[in-house]
């Protein structure tokens, strides 16, 4: 508490004392404001010290409250680039609460504690696991994901998974050769398996001479069909992010790109709609982090032109009208692609596809190609 | 009676991407493309001159362009005015004034801030032959509205005309002032629009319907439903083009019928359907579907007299129809190999898909006296743009 006043030793100042010394409301408020301790979560110079840094922060907070009885003001992110608004805990002041509610501080602290624990035990767990550790506090999984992202951003960590709490795996892969990685881990050949958790140091090794292509597919149904087709699966590595890809799948592709020899061709097949094109762009380019992109990917289809040319098939018409939402999405997507740095040829192909979809006012699903036989279409394209 | 058209000139690799729009005016054939550029091809070429050596090119927008219309008129005082309006895939309208002497383009900023916020799709000019009536510009937006502007060329006249001198040079001041809009009853995509000299606007929609409205009141008077195959959502009847005949008596509507393309003619005074333009099927069995093209019809164009209608489609054909008899009088089969300069033939796209019979994205009749060369003055002609990135010009055979 404000200590500028002269008071009898051993006695605390009364409210009267304060009023006497503070002529205005502002000065009174200032005099009555407690001394606070500022805690700043900011860039960690050496990521390997993450654990000790977190422990220091937690113990600083503990000391402030336990021993000095000082409220905390927590800044997530350095000054000027705060990730979240500053939080006061416990709350002090006269007016009604201005800052974020106290439970947000609890969320932050409990997550920090959780991260420190995972580091201590050197284990990885999923966001879902953490959420179920304290459902009452977190309320929903989104909150956990959002705050972990905030912590990673505040510490300016190179990877989201440096906190050792990661999203559940979503992507699938299927490889024609056994792929060894880390120390004793392996992705078995000819088996659909989840994209494994990776670290910055992960390197894949295998008999690359048997891998002709890496094929990225939007849909896991198509992925499954191709994986079961030996003609395809014996020469191509298949990857799917099941719709919009998660970070891990993108990171996996990035790693593949680094590890595969230049002779391996990277291709992507998506639905012939604006979202399909957007998904392709998501794999190819990332504005913020270069480790989540794979510029080597070539967009191959499914092209709206191929579907129209194929329309005389007896299976009927496979084309759907663009909806209002599709159209607005496509128009914005075109603007976005035009502003993105991609290889010239790739950009041309993607822009042309969206333009044609818009001009024809049509879209189609990749499943319907070649009379709903994607494998046939795919092999024809490979051999062309 | 059949007609014969012969190729007079063509130009491969006219643009770097698909050409989506075509229109013709006296001085230039105008094309727009997905590569974002607008090109004005000089019409009066002497024999031996290549189109590519006489083209004005202007990069407009990076998202690409799809619809274009040109406005060419000689105003009071002999002022020659040439405007080109095009729409980008991002929904913006760009209007350029072409300086006829130097061949330079100047972008005009004619829309208000609020008008610029909308997403437009199709655009058309209506030239008024009466000096006291303003020219019009009409555009559709993606929510289905049709917006109408008055296009004024001169500064409003001041009342104090004491001298009464009619030769007084008026000051040029090109302006667009919005007259109003025809809102859609429900949000649906307005794909095409045309406006007739009789003061009628037709707007075609993605769901196959066409709304015909009065220009003066902006009130709908007729509503035409598509005549395509009905029943499933997949076989839509998207209207791809609407066109009034030169005198405004007839309206041609090109719409999808599943994977085929149909053209239906309507009479505009009473809103009656006159009939379809169909290819006769030489079959002993009854036909299950009548169609104009074995593919979507992208564009239709009346000849200057209104006697003939040219249509083009995904099947790589241009068909010319006798409107009165509703009979086909000519079919032009486009092939990528037609292009004169061999190195400019695009017989397949970047993905290796064949463009040997390229879909025809746009067609327009050419009036007599527009194109140069033999027969240009005596015969009408046709111009088309195709998916093989080419522009082709034809003229009717005979009489030379």
Confidence of residue A127 (pLDDT cuts 50, 70, 90): confident
CB contact under 8 Å between A355 and B20, yes or no, is: yes
Q: What pLDDT was estimated at residue A2? A: 44
Q: What pLDDT was estimated at residue B284? A: 52
Alpha-carbon separation of residue A317 from A177, A269, A326, A358, B234 (angstroms)? 39, 21, 19, 18, 6
Q: What pLDDT was estimated at residue A1? A: 44
Query: Model confidence over A98-114: pLDDT tens digits?
Result: 777 888 888 989 998 88
CB contact under 8 Å between A359 and B191, yes or no, is: no
What's the predicted TM-score (pTM) here? Answer: 0.84
- Of B356, B292, B289, the C-alpha closest to B321 is B292
Q: What pLDDT was estimated at residue B231? A: 47
Minimum distance, in Å, between the CA of residue A353 and any CA atom of chain B: 10
Kindly report the average pLDDT of chain B as a whole number.
88
* Higher-scoring residue by pLDDT: A81, B370: B370
Query: Model confidence over A346-378: pLDDT tens digits?
Result: 999 999 999 999 999 988 888 878 777 888 888
Q: What pLDDT was estimated at residue B312? A: 95
Do the Cβ atoms of B250 and B266 come closer than 8 Å?
yes
Residue range B65-83: mean pLDDT, rounded: 91
pLDDT over 50 at B244, yes or no: yes
Residue A305 with chain B: CB contacts under 8 Å: 349, 351, 353
Q: What pLDDT was estimated at residue B227? A: 56
Residue A335 with chain B: CB contacts under 8 Å: 63, 90
Interface test with B, best of A326, A331, A362 (most B CBs within 10 A): A331
Q: Does domain A169-382 have CATH number 3.40.50.150?
A: no
Query: Model confidence over A282-314: pLDDT tens digits?
Result: 999 988 788 888 999 999 988 888 888 765 554
Whether cis (ω within 30° of 0) applies to the bond prior to A127 is: no
Between β-strands A125-126 and A165-166, what pairing exists: parallel, antiparallel or unpaired?
A: parallel
Alpha-carbon separation of residue B270 from A344, B146, B196, B245, B348 (angstroms)? 53, 22, 15, 15, 47
pLDDT over 80 at B394, yes or no: yes
Which residue among A352, A361, A384 places its CB closest to the CB of B191? A361
Domain contains B228: yes
What is the rounded CA–CA span in Å between residue A76 and residue B71?
59
> What tokens appear for B361 in the block?
């994205």
Domain contains B163: no
The enclosing domain of B242 has a CATH number of 2.130.10.10
Q: What pLDDT was estimated at residue B232? A: 47
pLDDT over 90 at A217, yes or no: yes
Query: Model confidence over A230-286: pLDDT tens digits?
Result: 888 888 999 999 999 988 899 999 999 999 999 999 999 999 999 999 999 999 998
Residue B258 with chain A: CB contacts under 8 Å: 317
ipTM comes to 0.91
- Of A296, A271, A263, the C-alpha closest to A362 is A271
Token look-up 């440096």 returns A162
Domain contains B165: no
Residue range A34-53: mean pLDDT, rounded: 83
Range of the domain at B93: 5-156+171-396
A298 at B interface, C-beta within 8 A: no
Which residue among B89, B235, B353 places its CB closest to the CB of A355? B89
Residue A317 with chain B: CB contacts under 8 Å: 232, 234-235, 258-259
What is the rounded CA–CA span in Å between residue A69 and residue A65?
4
Query: Model confidence over B81-107: pLDDT tens digits?
Result: 999 999 999 999 999 999 988 889 999
Interface test with A, best of B191, B350, B351 (most A CBs within 10 A): B351
Query: Model confidence over A307-339: pLDDT tens digits?
Result: 887 655 544 456 888 888 999 999 999 999 999
For residue B62, the chain A residue with the least C-alpha distance is: A338
For B207-251, the DSSP string reads TS-EEEEETTT--EEEEE---S--SSSSS---EEEEEE-TTSSEE
CB contact under 8 Å between A352 and B62, yes or no, is: no
Q: What pLDDT was estimated at residue B233? A: 45
What is the residue extent of each domain of chain A? 19-165, 169-382
Domain contains B166: no
CB contact under 8 Å between B234 and A318, yes or no, is: yes
Q: What percent of chain B has pLDDT over 70?
A: 91
Minimum distance, in Å, between the CA of residue B344 and any CA atom of chain A: 19
What is the rounded CA–CA span in Å between residue A86 and residue B361?
58
pLDDT over 50 at A3, yes or no: no
Q: What pLDDT was estimated at residue B289? A: 60
Residues in chain A: 384
Minimum distance, in Å, between the CA of residue B249 and any CA atom of chain A: 29
Confidence of residue A95 (pLDDT cuts 50, 70, 90): low
Q: Count up the domains in chain B and report the number.
A: 1
Binding-site residues on chain B for chain A (CB distance < 8 A): 16-18, 20, 34, 62-64, 66, 89-91, 119, 142-143, 187-189, 191, 206, 232-236, 238, 258-259, 296, 314, 349-353
Which residue among A324, A331, A360 places its CB closest to the CB of B187? A324
Q: What pLDDT was estimated at residue B116? A: 92
Kindly report the average pLDDT of chain A as a whole number.
85
Q: Quick one: B103 exposed, middle or buried, by C-beta within 10 A (0-12, 13-18, 19+)?
A: middle
Q: What pLDDT was estimated at residue A253? A: 92
Under 8 Å CB pairs connecting chains A and B tally to: 86
């Amino acid at each position: 508490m404000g200590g500028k006043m002269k008071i009898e030793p051993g006695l605390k100042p009364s409210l009267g004392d304060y009023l006497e010394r503070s002529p205005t409301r502002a000065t009174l408020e200032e005099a009555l404001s407690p001394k606070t301790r500022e805690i700043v979560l900011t860039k960690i110079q050496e990521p390997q010290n993450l654990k000790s840094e977190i422990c220091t922060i937690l113990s600083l907070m503990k000391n402030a409250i336990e021993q000095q009885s000082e409220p905390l003001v927590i800044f997530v992110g350095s000054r000027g680039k705060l990730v979240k608004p500053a939080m006061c805990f416990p709350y002090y002041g006269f007016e009604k609460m201005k800052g974020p509610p106290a439970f947000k501080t609890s969320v932050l602290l409990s997550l920090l504690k959780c991260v420190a624990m995972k580091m201590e035990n050197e284990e990885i767990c999923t966001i879902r696991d953490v959420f179920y550790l304290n459902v009452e506090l977190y309320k929903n999984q989104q909150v956990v994901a959002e705050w972990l992202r905030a912590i990673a951003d505040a510490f300016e960590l190179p990877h989201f998974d440096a906190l050792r709490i990661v999203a559940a795996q979503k992507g699938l892969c299927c490889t024609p050769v056994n792929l060894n990685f880390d120390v004793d881990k392996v992705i078995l050949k000819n088996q659909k398996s989840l994209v494994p958790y990776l670290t910055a140091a992960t390197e894949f090794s295998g008999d690359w001479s048997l891998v002709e292509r890496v094929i990225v597919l939007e849909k896991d149904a198509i992925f499954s069909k191709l994986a079961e087709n030996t003609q395809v699966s014996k020469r191509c590595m298949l990857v799917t992010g099941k719709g919009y890809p998660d970070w891990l799948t993108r990171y996996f592709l990035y790693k593949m790109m680094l590890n595969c020899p230049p002779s391996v061709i990277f291709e992507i097949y998506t639905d012939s709609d604006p979202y399909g094109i957007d998904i392709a762009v998501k794999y190819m380019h990332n504005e913020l982090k270069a480790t989540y992109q794979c510029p080597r990917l070539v967009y191959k289809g499914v092209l709206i032109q191929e579907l129209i040319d194929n329309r005389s098939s007896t299976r009927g018409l496979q084309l759907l009208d663009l909806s209002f939402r599709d159209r607005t999405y496509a128009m914005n997507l075109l603007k976005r692609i035009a502003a993105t740095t991609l290889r010239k040829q790739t950009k041309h192909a993607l822009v042309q596809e969206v333009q044609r979809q818009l001009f024809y006012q049509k879209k189609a699903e990749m499943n319907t190609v070649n009379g709903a036989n994607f494998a046939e279409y795919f092999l024809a394209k490979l051999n062309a | 009676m059949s007609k014969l058209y012969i190729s007079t000139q063509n130009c491969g690799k006219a643009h770097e991407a698909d050409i989506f729009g075509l229109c013709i005016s006296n001085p230039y054939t105008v094309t727009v493309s997905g590569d974002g550029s607008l090109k004005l091809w000089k019409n009066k070429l002497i024999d031996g001159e290549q189109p590519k050596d006489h083209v004005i090119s202007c990069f407009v927008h990076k998202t690409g362009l799809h619809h274009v219309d040109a406005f060419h008129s000689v105003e009071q005082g002999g002022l020659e005015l040439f405007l080109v309006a095009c729409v980008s895939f991002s929904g913006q309208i760009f209007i350029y004034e072409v300086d006829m002497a130097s061949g330079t383009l100047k972008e005009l900023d004619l829309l208000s801030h609020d008008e610029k916020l909308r997403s437009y799709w199709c655009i058309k000019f209506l030239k008024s032959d009466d000096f006291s009536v303003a020219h019009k510009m009409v555009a559709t937006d993606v929510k289905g509205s049709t917006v109408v502007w008055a296009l004024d060329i001169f500064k409003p006249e001041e009342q104090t005309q004491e001298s009464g001198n009619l030769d007084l040079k008026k000051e040029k001041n090109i302006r667009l002032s919005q007259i109003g809009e025809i809102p859609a009853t429900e949000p649906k995509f307005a794909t095409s629009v045309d406006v007739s000299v009789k003061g009628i606007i037709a707007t075609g929609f993605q769901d196959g319907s066409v709304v015909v409205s009065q220009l003066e009141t902006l009130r709908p008077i007729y509503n035409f439903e598509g005549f395509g195959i009905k029943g499933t959502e997949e076989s839509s009847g998207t209207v791809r083009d609407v066109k009034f005949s030169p005198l405004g008596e007839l309206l041609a509507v090109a719409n999808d019928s599943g994977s085929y393309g149909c053209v239906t003619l309507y009479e505009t005074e009473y809103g009656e359907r006159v009939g379809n333009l169909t290819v006769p099927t030489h079959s002993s069995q009854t036909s299950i579907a009548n169609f104009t093209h074995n593919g979507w019809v992208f564009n239709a164009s009346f000849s200057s007299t209104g006697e003939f209608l040219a249509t083009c489609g995904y099947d790589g054909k241009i068909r010319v129809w006798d409107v009165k008899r509703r009979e086909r009088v000519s079919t032009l089969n486009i092939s990528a190999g037609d292009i004169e300069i061999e190195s400019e033939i695009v017989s397949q796209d970047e993905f290796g898909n064949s463009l040997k019979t390229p879909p025809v994205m746009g067609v327009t009749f050419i009036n007599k006296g527009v194109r140069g060369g033999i027969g240009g003055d005596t015969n009408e002609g046709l111009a088309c743009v195709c998916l093989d990135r080419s522009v082709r010009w034809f003229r009717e055979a005979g009489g030379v």
